[in-house]
Amino acid sequence: MTAIGKRAGRSAMLADPAPTGWQVLNRFTLGSDTAIQITILAVTLAIWQISASRLGMEFWISSPAGIWRAFGKWAANGVMLGDIRTTIIEAGIGFVLGSSIGGLVGFVLGWVRRLGDIFEPFVIAFYTLPKVALAPLFVLWFGIGMGNKIMFATLLVFFMVFFTTFQGTRQVDRDLVSNARLLGASRWQIWTKIALPHASVWLFAGIRIGLPYALIGAIVGEFIAAENGVGFRIREATSFYDTSAVFAGLIVLMGISMVCLAALKIIETRALRWQNVRDLTPAG
């Protein structure tokens, strides 16, 4: 009862009006964005298929039909699900570890001005280093099992989340803090009610930037040394000149990262609802 009442009250003030039947229908008719997007995809696939078969380029660029067959083969011998699982576990654990450590360290160094000043040169030194160059070292440290990929994904995510949170948190309006102090806030309350909510915007931005890096970390790790995983399968297919299987692997990766980004988007819109509110009219 209350939930419904609340929602109704809010939507009357802030939300879009519900789409009418006609508008829903219109979204899928010719000329709508969705229709155009589907057309672009279809035309691209057609050109790809034709240039592969008619121009004899299948060896280099494979073809949609060839990729479809590679998918079938990959799925049929039961290896695909195992590979996907390996890569997702590596990237997933790396993502969780990297973003929580990166977020925490970035927040603390960003908020405590002195600490931030002290550590800034080190931070910049690490920032300029292409992190991928560390991958061989990680094989040495953590072996060729999953541990190595998890650590590498953690490292990449950590840096992305850390930098964004650190830079963002530093930009807090200090007047907001002194005003809160004037309103009676204790030190602890300034952390929990001002600093953390302020930093959460940057933390989310960092996490969004860091998410693809979890997958990059896992894949690069698998490229260098691995026994299974999607990245390993791509490299294996390349060494057999099996372009179709390479593309199949790439499409799986694309699918994984799109699902992750969509999930993140949902969480983010809920947590940062205040950023996306619309103007009220008329203004008073």
Partner 1 sequence: MMAAVADDVTVTELTPEFSFTDVSVRFGSFVAMGPATLEVRQREFLVIIGPSGCGKSTLLNLAAGTLQTRTGSVLHRGAPLRGINHDVGYITQKNYCLPWRTVEANVRLPLEFRRWPAAKIKLRAAAAIAQVGLTGFENAYPKQLSGGMLQRVLIARTLAYNPSTYLLDEPFGSLDAQLRMHMHRELMRLWQTTASTFVFVTHDLHEAITLADRVVVMSGRPGRIKLIVDIDIPRPRDVVDIQSDPRFGAYFKTLWTALSDD
Given the rule CB under 8 A, which residues bind partner 1?
9-10, 13-14, 175-176, 178-186, 189, 193-194, 197-198, 200-201, 272, 274-275, 277-280, 283-284
Q: Closest separation between CB of residue 187 and partner 1, Å?
A: 11
Q: Choose between 101 and 196: whose C-beta lies nearer to partner 1.
A: 196
Distance CA 255, CA 261 (A): 10
Q: Choose between 9 and 19: whose C-beta lies nearer to partner 1.
A: 9
N-term to C-term CA, the chain? 31
Q: Closest separation between CB of residue 39 and partner 1, Å?
A: 38
Distance CA 26, CA 127 (A): 48
Q: Choose between 54 and 278: whose C-beta lies nearer to partner 1.
A: 278
Environment class of 27 (CB within 10 Å of its CB; exposed 0-12, middle 13-18, buried 19+) = exposed
Cα dist from 38 to 24, 29, 225, whole Å:
17, 11, 39
Distance CA 50, CA 60 (A): 14
Q: Closest separation between CB of residue 172 and partner 1, Å?
A: 11
Q: Closest separation between CB of residue 202 and partner 1, Å?
A: 12
Q: Closest separation between CB of residue 117 and partner 1, Å?
A: 23
Question: For residue 135, how far is the Cα from the chain centroid?
Answer: 20
Q: Choose between 78 and 284: whose C-beta lies nearer to partner 1.
A: 284
Q: Choose between 33 and 279: whose C-beta lies nearer to partner 1.
A: 279
